[in-house]
Amino acid sequence: DPCRNFHCKRGKVCHVDKQGKPICICQDPAACPSTKDYEHVCGTDNKTYDGTCQLFGTKCQLEGTKMGCQLHLDYMGSCKYIPHCTDYEVDQFPLRMRDWLKNILMQYYERDLDTSGFLTEKQRSKVKKIYQNDKRLVAGNHAVELLLHDFEKNYHMYVYPVHWQFHQLDQHPVDRLLTHSELAPLRASLVPMEHCITRFFQECDGDQDKLIALKEWCHCFGIKE
């Protein structure tokens, strides 16, 4: 099968042409496998798609048009009303996000105590110090004042989680710059819970070049060096 190891980008599928060569053609959205309700996604056109297959197949068919350029995955789940993010909320957002990233690393570390595999040895040694310190602030919904106080007092514990998340996203290619598609996995899963995340990432891009550099990312999270 010429298509066996032939890779096509999202929204396209492999097809064997008349000469027997593999080529990529647009996925027919109607031919996508059926999905469950929880697999539905919302596009930036505010339309609910049955899944990412249907969304990216539609985007492919619109390739070269303005509508196709503007269509992206907005967030996971069916489209719903997302409230406007106020100036006050976007100012408080990094406090919650920093705490959340730290808690994710703590959970990975705890799981690795039983079965390794989530973190590399180097990551584990960095997280171990944070983990030993972190038992003071139990995971949960904390007042903004408490999160701010903890950040100022234990600043060093928040630096690595912010760097780690950037590295997790910076994969295609690894170039210390985050593109819209590299940010998508984090953004798309958080939008329904954190309505400020879109505005937060827009404002992170200080030079408005549609790329978030490591320096811009750290600045957004209040990391100085």
Percent of the chain topping pLDDT 90? 48
Q: pLDDT truncated to tens, each residue of the chain (225 aa)? A: 889 889 999 899 999 999 999 999 999 999 999 988 888 999 999 999 999 999 999 999 999 999 998 899 999 999 998 889 999 999 999 998 998 998 888 888 888 877 767 888 888 888 888 887 766 655 566 677 888 888 888 888 889 999 999 999 999 889 999 998 899 888 888 888 888 998 999 999 999 999 999 999 999 999 987
Predicted pLDDT at 121: 85
Q: What is the 3-state secondary structure (H, E, C) of the chain?
A: CCCCCCCCCCCEEEEECCCCCEEEEECCHHHCCCCCHHHCEEECCCCEECCHHHHHHHHHHCCCCHHHHHCCEEEECCCCCCCCCCHHHHHHHHHHHHHHHHHHHHHHHHHHHHCCCCCCHHHHHHHHHHHHHHCCCCCCCCCHHHHHHHHHHCCHHHHHHHHHHHHHHCCCCCCCEECHHHHHHHHHHHCCCCCCHHHHHHHHCCCCCCCEEHHHHHHHCCCCC
